[in-house]
Structure 1
Amino acid sequence: MNVNESLKNALFTKEFTHNPYPVYEKLRQSDPIMNLQFPDGRHGWLIASYAEAVEALKDGRFSKDVTKAMGVEQTSVFSTNMLFSDPPDHKRLRGLVQKGFTPQRIADMRSHIQEIADGLLDAVSSKDTMNLIDEYAFKLPIIVISEILGVPAEDQDKFRLWSNSIIGASNQVMNEQVVQHMNEFIAYLKDWFAKVREQPGDDMISQLVIAENQGDRLSEHELYGVVTLMIIAGHETTVNLIGNGVLALLEHPEQRKLLQEQPELIHGAIEEMLRYNGPVEFSTSRWAAEDLEFHGVHMKKGDLVVIALNSANRDSKQFEDPDLFDITREKSQHLAFGKGIHLCLGAPLARLEGEIAINTLLRRFPHFELQGDVDELEWRPGMIVRGVKEIPISLRS
């Protein structure tokens, strides 16, 4: 078996999900643009090195719209959004959403996010242990994005269930339960949009439902896609940023001590957490819009292209000592939120939530410890998000 075949066999295994970085290093050295079969059965190209990843993320020859690239219809009602569109549709859809994510609006949310973080930790203050993911890392961002969108508090847990199913569907995990959850979500959104049309509020969903951009309203499918993207991207990224970030601190006690002594280092710490073990494993799909050559590799029109973001963020050609977790590292141009026109719209909000959540946890419970061994933690399956299912911690030493 040659090196490439060995690497292909190592990809997407349970061991790879637990720690993909040794495989990524070998991949960057031997075949940074690898042709392979993905877990869902599709054949395509996996880009693992930083320079090539940046180019691919910004290259207009790679289309995000499968309808244009391959001449096939979108199979999911949730895919009609700016993440899966090209210009000019991308600019129109993004323009309708970005009004709710201006730097000033996000900055104005700081004190409220701090209140949410303190409230969540108040709720566990009498306990000796907590599940960091379920009781904190999930709850904080889902509360924030739900308030922005106008999701009732009593429905927030449903949205977590539905978003997990939609992520599963993106990995072609289409079992009966996933289909049921997706249908429940569609029914919920239909009812919600109808109510908003009758009585709009001042939340973002109301703005999107009644919005017009040069006389062009969002279609029903576009509404599904935009709302779904904001719900998933608006909390999934932050859940795993917080979870992976806390894990990095637990595994590097000297860095944790430094951050506790100098909480003002949190901005650089968040950037390093995003680089070191980012919350998004792979980019969403792109397709070659034409026959092309990319760094000596010949791709045919319709070829699938996926970028290994977390591999690019450990590339020694871009980052000095890339496997070292260092919260004082000079600001790095990591790719945790992508690059180019599809750069994550909610990145500033995710950063702010991560900063507040982690610094507040360190301040409120300075002696928290992981219960059990880090090697026993179960990582979530799939190709999009990177995060663990649970992080049990003791709140007091």
Structure 2
Amino acid sequence: MNAPSTLPATFGAEAELVAAATALVPALKQRASAIDQLSRLPQETIDDLNAAGLLELTTPRRYGGKQASVRTFLEVVAEIGRGDASTAWVTALINVTTWAAAALFDERVTDEVFGGPERARVVGVLSPRKASVKKVDGGYVIEEGVWGFNSGIYHANWDLLGIPIVDASGKVIDQGVALVRASDVRTLDDWNVMALRGTGSSSVSVTNLFVPDTHVASMSQAIEGKYGATHLAGEPLYRVACIPMLAIILTFPALGIARNALDTFLELLPRRGIQYTWYTKQAEAPVTHLQVGLASAKLDAARAIIEKHADALDASAASGQYMAYMDRAKVRRDVGFAETLIWDAVDSLATASGGSLASLGNPFARVWHDARVASLHGIVAPTTNFETYGRLACGQPADTPLI
């Protein structure tokens, strides 16, 4: 017994990408145990994603990529999330960081990243745990750097790492990102977690790594839509607002996880009664009807909110006008609200599942854990996002530049 399907608002080649994602769902469900044991995605999953072009959603068309809309990005990742949360997370993160590499750097750099025989797979971390940087002729030396939660690093060939931009005296003058080869990064293999295990979100480090000026982009410029890829200025995808793009994509896996949670609950429902009541069939109890009705309404509301903003990002980019400041702040606010709705819905279904969730073999327990951890990423944190928007609405300055 499954929840009704939501038909994607996509056509032609982009609809084919969504269909390809849907076709992967059964295989992804079957690989759940292997994914958890590996703490990264198995090669067969990477091969499947490659074959369908689902790791090239944001690769420029001029380099053989799909260059799909933000809405199609949403639809694809949410479908993958119905099969496996970790695969959806990695797909989202690789594609958004690939987008950043394409948008933030000039043609010489994008030719280097995307123009070679190997498919570009870019991952990244915006905030370093530690980064000591020195300005030198022609670029920067990252003397010592450590970054956590580098999702998808085991499948990447480029890494986009947040660094302070300093002048010759060592004074921090901006925040930036350094585009480096994954082979120059040490993976610390410290990903040992309760959920999203297959994301392989290990910490990474570098020591005394030279990064040329051409491979460092200013985040303050990016936040305002001043991107380095002037050669792609005519392509709407590479005019999408930066921080809203980085934030909204984290809800795409969550939407898929939530759909899987509702499907899984309904599939398990015929096997359960309600302990210490006369109900031998949970599906016959009015309380269950209320729980499912409310949870499904919250999930539909979350989906509608995120679809609206994905469409707005596409429309704003297509218009050639960079998204207005308060509209960008509203995306962050609503990302937090959507995550609240998603988690509330999934957790209410978990409560309705009873003590059987204590079993590691219960398929709903895995979905429940994945939903919780997915909702904890700093950029989707509801309280932070609500406060930020509320400050602006009250005439106060934002408490972050990341709008």
If asked which structure has higher relative contact order (CA below 8 Å, sep 6+), I would say 1
Q: Assess same fold via TM > 0.5.
A: no
Q: TM-score normalized by structure 2?
A: 0.27
Q: Greater strand percent: which structure?
A: 2
Q: TM-score normalized by structure 1?
A: 0.28
